[in-house]
Structure 1
Amino acid sequence: MLSVYRVIQVERGYQRRSDKGMRTRENLTLLRFFTLLVMLSLAACQTPVPASTSEPTQEMQDIFDAAWGDRELFRANLVSSEQGILDELPGATEYHIEFTIADDFKLIRGHEAVLFTNQEDTSLDAVYFRLYPNVTGGRSIISNVTVDGEEVETRLEEVDSSLYVQLPDLLEPNSSVVLELDFNIEIPREMGDYYGLFGYFEDVLVLDTFYPMIPVYDDEGWNAAVPQMNGDLTYNDAAFYLVRVHAPVDLVVVASGVRVQRTVAGDTQTLTFANGPARDFYLAASDDFTVTSEKVGETTINSYALAEWKAGANEVLKISVNTLRSYNSRFGTYPYSEMDLMSTPMLALGIEYPGAMGIALGLYDPDEVFGGLPSRVYLESVVAHEIAHQWFYNMVGNDQPDEPWLDEALAQYATGLYYQDTYDSSAAESYRSSWYARWDRVDGVDIPIGLPAGEYEGREYGAIVYGRGPIFISELANAMGIGVFDDFIKTYAQEYKWDIGTGDAFKRLAEEKCDCDLTSLFDDWVYP
């Protein structure tokens, strides 16, 4: 579910390096693109106006013990037009997670309680939790597992990345249970597989997919298999998260959702976050984070960076403001009262979570070079791409391991729209030409964009899903007519909001909107 971005021409696993191996054509394309953007941005450049993040006033009571089904705390996380969803989504999973971050950032100890409702049309005899730290360089140790207070049988599966929990009785459709467990999570100090998104590196704590989470159950059963090396790890339903964090008092903690309470006792702060509806919970923290902010409508955008890269944080804020205005108009209102972007260490260039996005540290350094080009070339498209995932991944979910094109190709296409709206058609076309340069990495081979991520080999994943993918979306827009397509994509974003979109549903809605048969186009581009 969590899509790591590989920006314009950089694949997801791309690390900081020199210009070795980059194509000459690709560099020239980007250089022309960069030159054009510099000229345009000089005319459009404005000094960001910082705005303080509003924090809801709460009585200093133990709000963490809110009753199951009480969604009032989540109202602060949503703009007014989106708060009606709190009366909808019956049966959405609810997480209450409490944990302590050790002073040396080597261990997390916590407790998790989950209200899980069977929303399927069949009875369930078990529930799975994903334990991603066991495949991302750390270690997750689970104990004291109960279901409605009763001890149950459990076992680790899929190279310890999944925990099977046997239910005491069959869970019938629309019935609920409360699952509880304790967890100890070892935090790595060296970046592991899956792009180094989980651990403590360069004085920044990044907690990607760290807590035990319940995956989607669909027509294939529980999505609990060993994660594929390509693409994203998670595939989750929209849920509600109430999270209490105990951390060193001087730590600047940034997390999905909105902070609804903070107390301090000695050298420890206790923070409570309300996050939902959302498909994940993420946290990043550092003693050295500084923040600059600006408000767009009811949403406060916060740009966090290490103190030495404050200028980069200002640039990210400016890009984010323009991006949010573009996407609010094109796809529907961004649902949250906050949007956080953080400079974080990783072996990719960006990563998105609900209401929060990590941007690679190197992109904040104006002297850094990626593939022989200035970091400025990549920073803008990374930010625009990651923000697009707030609509295509978070609001509209999809099976990211098996249908990654549904969020990644759409996020790439949306980035082109950002350039169109912020600059002009010339800037947009310059950016879109990078899709072809990416596809050229596999010599323009007609590999379907609709394969599971794990079926692509080597450079194919980035070239096809991020290069050929948005080219297909563009071809689809031309076939439908741009006006009809614009209406279609906004309708898709709204009709499947907080639900799961599929390739079949995407095609079906497109055909309804254009009153045409798109089978041939999908066969040529999407399907094996």
Structure 2
Amino acid sequence: EPVYELSGSAMRIPLAEPLPPGGRLEIALDFRVSVPRTIEHGYGQFCYVDGVLALPNFYPLVPVYDDEGWNAELAPDYGDAVYSDVSLYLVRLTAPKGMVVATSGSLVSEVENADGTVTRTYASGPMRDFCMVMSEKYEVASAAVGQTTVNSYYLPSDWEGGQRVLRYACDALRVYSRRFGLYPYAELDVVETPTTAGGIEYPGLIVVAQRYYGRKGGFFEFATAHETAHQWWYGMVGSDQVDEPWLDEALTNYSALIYFEDVHGKETAETILERYFEEPYRRAIEEKRDAVVAQPVAAFSPEDYGLIVYAKGALFFHALRQEVGDEVYFEIMRRYLEEHKYRIATPESFLAVAEEVAGRSLKGIYRRWILSAKR
């Protein structure tokens, strides 16, 4: 009999016999899920609001097996909710014919049913999650970046924003593929949703908050560049987003600065550095809110989580880049991706790569920015 844990959110299935290495086990599970009709909790990422149905993390997921054993825990209501390994997904979705659907992976077949529904089959490469967002209202604009199709799903009243976000995502895909390594999937979907976050990342799909679609540039562009960078740091290179959130979030935030530097020039990048990293961190110090970066999400208040992980954490990568120079810094990024692609990285494994590429110890700068706080 299965054993339910973590307030009923986890199910442990005892096996009659241990599963040997390389062995296979098929688990079939029927379940229903109630979708919230508000955006009050968890950034409103899982909801049905204003005709938009957002379904991230809606299905049972096998947790990562790491040095803690089966790493299953309840995440706070802020920060990322899921720490997961990669899987290959084959998903069949039956929905009303008029529903416009954005998903992780790619559409491989479509069959119309007699009851007015359509059954679509999607398949993915190695991904850490499978997200679906749908609405009868969505319109779609597309563009190609190399062999990848980028799709912008937007509401009819936000046509201009839908075109702008498509351009931002295409530019980001070009920058990161050149700087870090090639984007591996056939598609990247950018989807407008009512989330209360600036944006949220999923493999092969990012969402950007509806409230920004009337803007030009600014945080609208920054959020898009940030979430696109997560396809590298979270999507391809995994890490424990609940207990070690800085490893993907801080690196992703600093990667957004690289986007602005390459697309808009160094002067704009300096403005981004000051506005999103240096000024918030100075404020944290002045208000005596500085803290150690290397802590779980739950160790921070929702306000300090952004200040410390996103701002101070990003300044570590800026300091590292200044310490080793551009050529070595980007070689560190490429090597980090190469050695951890579709795997789980740790702070220790990142530092090991950085020191190997740099040819020297970087523990001093690591201690200063990641393990220390000014009080």
Compute the TM-score of the two structures, normalised by the length of structure 1: 0.68
Q: Which residue does 1:474 correspond to in 2?
A: 318
Q: Which residue number in structure 2 is paired with residue 421 of structure 1? A: 262
Which residue of 117, 122, 137 corresponds with 1:273? 122
Q: Is the 8 A contact 1:331 1:494 kept in 2?
A: no
| Cα pair distance change 1:192/1:446, threshold 3 Å | closer
Letter in 2 for 1:443: I
Residue 389 of structure 1 corresponds to 230
* Partner SS, residue 166 of structure 1: coil
Answer 1 or 2: which has greater helix percent.
2
- CA–CA distance in structure 1, aligned partners of residues 52 and 145 of structure 2: 28
SS at match of 1:227: coil
Check conservation: 1:256, 1:281, Cα contact below 8 A. yes
Paired residue for 1:218? 66
Per the TM alignment, residue 442 of structure 1 is displaced from its structure 2 partner at its CA by 2.3
CA 458–385 in structure 1, closer or farther in 2 if over 3 Å, else same = closer
- The match for 1:509 is 353
Q: Does the Cα contact within 8 Å between 2:278 and 2:311 map onto a contact in 1?
A: yes
Secondary structure in 1 matching 2:8: coil
| Structure 2 residue 308 is the aligned partner of structure 1 residue 460 | no
| 2:278 corresponds to 1:436 | yes
Structure 1 position 265, deviation (Å): 1.5
The equivalent of 2:108 in structure 1 is 260
2:39·2:194 contact (CA, 8 Å) conserved in 1? no
Partner Cα distance (1:314, 1:340) in 2:
13
* Aligned equivalents of 1:200, 1:402: Cα separation in 2: 29
Equivalent pairs, count? 368
CA contact (8 A) 1:350 1:382 kept: yes
Give the distance between the partners of 1:193 and 1:157, measured in 2 at CA.
Answer: 22
Q: 1:290 aligns with which of 115, 123, 139?
A: 139
Seen in structure 2, the aligned counterparts of structure 1 residues 476 and 446 have a Cα distance that, compared at 3 Å, is: farther
Measure the CA separation in 2 of the matches of 1:329 and 1:404: 25
Cα offset, 1:441, TM superposition? 4.2
**Which of these residues, 211, 217, 234, is aligned with residue 362 of structure 1?**
211
Contact 2:43-2:78 at 8 Å conserved across structures: no
TM-score by length of 2: 0.95
Aligned-partner SS, 1:276: coil
Given that 1:303 and 1:314 are in contact with CA atoms closer than 8 Å, whether structure 2 keeps it comes out as: yes
Q: Write the mapping of 1:96-495 to structure 2, written as runs, cut at 5 A.
A: 153-266=1-114, 267-366=116-215, 376-434=217-275, 435-443=277-285, 445-495=289-339
Q: What root-mean-square deviation, in Å, do the aligned CA atoms of Structure 1 and Structure 2 show? A: 1.3
Structure 1 residue 276, shift from structure 2 partner: 2.0
Change (3 A) 1:288 1:198: same
Amino acid at match of 1:447: A
Q: Identify the structure with bigger relative contact order (alpha carbons < 8 Å, sequence gap 6+).
A: 1
Over 3 Å counting, the alpha-carbon distance change for 1:306 and 1:458 in structure 2 is closer
**Equivalent AA in structure 2 for residue 408 of structure 1:** E
**Higher gyration radius (CA):** 1
Amino acid at match of 2:145: V
Percent of pairs identical after alignment?
A: 39
- Structure 2: state its 5+ residue gaps: none
Q: Distance in 1 between matches of 2:241 and 2:307?
A: 17
Unmatched segments (≥5 aa) in structure 1: 1-152, 367-374
